Amino acid sequence: MATSTITEAAPQNGPSNGATSTNKFFDDVHFLGDKEGKVVIRSPPTFSNPEDERAYQKQHLAAAFRVFARQGFDEGVAGHISLRDPTNPDHFWINPLSTHFSLIRVSDLVLVNEHGQVLPGGAQHPINGPAFAIHSEIHKARPDLNAACHAHSVYGKAFSCFARPIEMLYQDALRFYNDLAVYPRYGGTVLSTEEGARIAKALGPTCRSVILQNHGMITCGRTVDEAAFLFIALDRCCHAQMMANAAAGPGWEKVYINKEEAEMTHRKSGNSSKMWLAFQPYYDQVVKEDPGVLE
């Protein structure tokens, strides 16, 4: 059955109807508009009906898989993105096992409970066992995070063998300033929730992203938009880091960004609002290319 497109709520400038949170969003993304305040950047919608909220979030989850396919993050049956269900926080939505990212639609998304059992209400397809082992523990440990992404990207895999975070060498890396953990062990394919719990513990109470030694990386966010954009950004940072390492030498020493500028830039350019906004052009692209992703 086709799912109707959820349009974004109109930006709010008055003192009611969610204006406080919307104004904070505007402050976080620090855009410029017109003198009268009528020209404003788009912002996340708000919903009075939880079913509408779920439909909107599932559309962005399905689109995230399409975006990952365009970025080359697909590899066989590896890779998964999960989204906490907005009406039942113990359940989450995830991709079906053995469906290519580029083909996933809203109707393909699978709803699972805290025991890894496929539930009615979503597609009746099996899911990836290691995906449940990882994502269930992250959702359990971090109620502040609603989405998590893991895929076997080339640069993420390559950089993971160093078991260290990226360095603060350039502006885009500052999205991850004091916000990138490392899981410093490799225990083979993740088959148990015990291993998933260790990964969640490595993520810690505040970080949104973690490098998995000899494996790859996971990024998380309050929205799937945030988590997905952070994954794209971190993969590119891994690439840039390795290029910088390869070029470094006498006369070409790396210059690091100092603490004050790093903290300010992380706050301004790495916040959740900015990450949500950064994902929207990718969302627009895949929906325009194939509106069927929303079905």
Tens digit of pLDDT for each residue in 7-58?
A: 443 333 333 345 677 889 999 999 999 999 999 999 999 999 999 999 999 9
Distance CA 295, CA 283 (A): 15
Indicate the number of domains in the chain. 1
Tell me whether residue 92 is in a domain: yes
In a domain, 122, yes or no: yes
Q: Which residue has the tokens 């490799």?
A: 186
Per-residue pLDDT, 166: 98
**Residue 3 resides in a domain:** no
Specify the range with the lowest mean pLDDT, choosing from 16-25, 80-89, 236-245.
16-25
Confidence check: pLDDT of 2 > 60: no
The structure tokens listed for 91 are 């359940």
Instruction: Give the pLDDT band (50/70/90) at residue 188.
Output: confident
Task: Kindly state whether residue 125 falls inside one of the protein's structural domains.
Answer: yes
SS3 readout for the chain? CCCCCCCCCCCCCCCCCCHHHHHHHHHHHCCCCCCCCCCCCCCCCCCCCHHHHHHHHHHHHHHHHHHHHHCCCCECCECEEEEECCCCCCCEEECCCCCCHHHCCHHHCEEECCCCCECCCCCCCCCCHHHHHHHHHHHHHCCCCCEEEEECCHHHHHHHCCCCCCCCCCHHHHHHCCCEEEECCCCCCCCCHHHHHHHHHHHCCCCCEEEECCCEEEEEECCHHHHHHHHHHHHHHHHHHHHHHHHCECCECCCCCCHHHHHHHHHHHCCHHHHHHHHHHHHHHHHHHCHHHHC
Q: What is the mean pLDDT of residues 116-120?
A: 97
Is 28 inside any structural domain?
no
Asked if residue 247 is part of any domain, the answer here is yes
pTM, two decimal places? 0.92
What share of the chain has pLDDT > 90, as a percent? 90
Which domain covers residue 129, as residue numbers? 50-290
The CATH number of residue 135's host domain is: 3.40.225.10
Is the residue at 201 inside a domain?
Answer: yes
Q: Which of 216, 208, 213 is nearest to 266 (CA)?
A: 208
Q: Is residue 26 part of a domain?
A: no
